[in-house]
Chains A and B, each alone.
Chain A
Amino acid sequence: MRVVVASGKGGTGKTLVAANLAAVVAGSRDVVLVDCDVEEPNLHLFFPSEKKVLPVLADVPVFDPVRCDHCGECARTCQYGAIVVLSQKNLFFPEMCHGCGGCEIVCPQGAITMGKREVGRIEFSMPRSGITLVSGVLNEREVAAPRVIREALRYAAGHPLVICDAPPGTACPLVETLEGADFCILVTEPTPFGLHDLSLAAGVTDVLGVPAGVVINRSMGEDGMIREFCRSKNIPVLWTIPFDRRTAELANDGRVLTDEVPEMKELFLELFAEVRGRGEEGA
């Protein structure tokens, strides 16, 4: 089963939920925790440990200056503005390239072959018994977040239990993380911003056919608008985490909440049981 923890809005508590879910489950079974928020991976802050690193490579065009006659077909095909053809030379912007290979296909002179360059890395660690942490890290200035996410997920593929910390937003990186998942926990906060971005994220799970449930974080008891939205969309509210200064302090210290607060451990185990029931139904 692969569970994704997403939110739409940033800062709602995705990483808190993913980290604690993995921590409580790891007491009884092995779990692979994947940090898919490759632009700002932060799960490793909760689980510091020695890591092994592998590079993530992406395809990039390599131009043969002898064959190239500067016809400009490659530049006209590139949808990302990564190639500009001048009368005597070509300019290539590697950080704008998505590695689609369209330029290689259309080049009438056969002057383009695909080479490789590093766009990010995958960090592996085993921070505690039962948890394998796989973190995707996108290099600065790069745009190929989905490429790094795909690679991170590939290393976790086939494992009986995978928990993914999703990137915020609802664009390509979230789609890459969500596609093919068995269940999505949508963490939200009871604010207009939380609701707005929750509705966008719920739209993505709906389109991708991933069953979803909502966790309301930082609740102060006034969750009416979130609950109303969930009712209208037929999305179950799985759990409400009350606002608690101590929770925020522990998280800010990089400590795992369920290690410190026994009641929280029980509640996260209940959440996992709920998720498992729903996720395995779909799987």
Chain B
Amino acid sequence: MIICITSKGPKSSDPVEERFGRSPYFLFYDTGKGIFDPVANKFADAAGGVGPRAAQVLIDRGTKVLITGNVGGNALSVIQAAGIGVFRYRDGGSVEDAFQKYQKGLLEKMA
């Protein structure tokens, strides 16, 4: 299963980015491989329409779970249509911390 966590940097020790569409990095965790695969978000500084385009990146990678701070309306409708579960993380910690808390079932499900 693929889990995506929005991140301010490419490493799992970097802090979680609370914005979805404008997150600098997406860290994709493959539970089969047990590693984080960082992908720079090329829409982070785009003028508009970033939410749906960022959501398309997640869909194209077969993501099943998204962990982030908040998701805008258009992106959320895409993510819901794609059947991706969204979990809210707002503790200000690292990607690793968010992942641990998700595994322990401590994160609130947004959608």
Contact = CB atoms under 8 A, between A and B. Distances in A.
B35 to A, nearest CB: 25
Given A86-B59, A93-B74, A96-B74, A81 B52 contact: yes
A89 B81 contact: yes
A96 B48 contact: yes
Given A91-B77, A96-B74, A85 B56 contact: yes
Contacts of B51: 81
Nearest to A85: B56
A103 to B, nearest CB: 13
Contact of A80 (B48, B78, B81): B48
Nearest to A143: B48
Contacts of A85: 56, 59
Sort chain B's interface into a size bin: 10 to 19
Nearest to A97: B49
B56 A96 contact: no
B77 A80 contact: no
A186 interface: no
B60 A72 contact: yes
Interface in A54-84: 72, 75, 78-84
A83 to B, nearest CB: 8
B49 A75 contact: no
A41 to B, nearest CB: 23
B56 A75 contact: yes
Contacts of B50: 81
A86 B48 contact: no
A83 B59 CA distance: 13
B39 interface: no
Nearest to A92: B52
Nearest to A171: B47
Nearest to A80: B49
A81 B20 CA distance: 14
B53 interface: yes
A81 B77 contact: no
A75 B57 CA distance: 11
Contacts of B81: 84, 86, 89, 91
Contacts of B78: 84, 91
B60 A81 contact: no
Contacts of A86: 59, 81-82
Interface in B66-103: 74, 77-78, 81-82
Given A81-B50, A89-B81, 10 more contacts: A72-B56, A75-B53, A75-B56, A78-B49, A81-B74, A84-B53, A86-B81, A91-B77, A93-B49, A93-B74
Interface of B: 43, 48-53, 55-56, 59-60, 74, 77-78, 81-82
Interface of A: 72, 75, 78-86, 89, 91, 93, 96, 143
- The 7 A-B pairs at the shortest CB distance, nearest first, are namely A81-B49, A81-B52, A81-B53, A80-B49, A84-B78, A84-B52, A84-B56
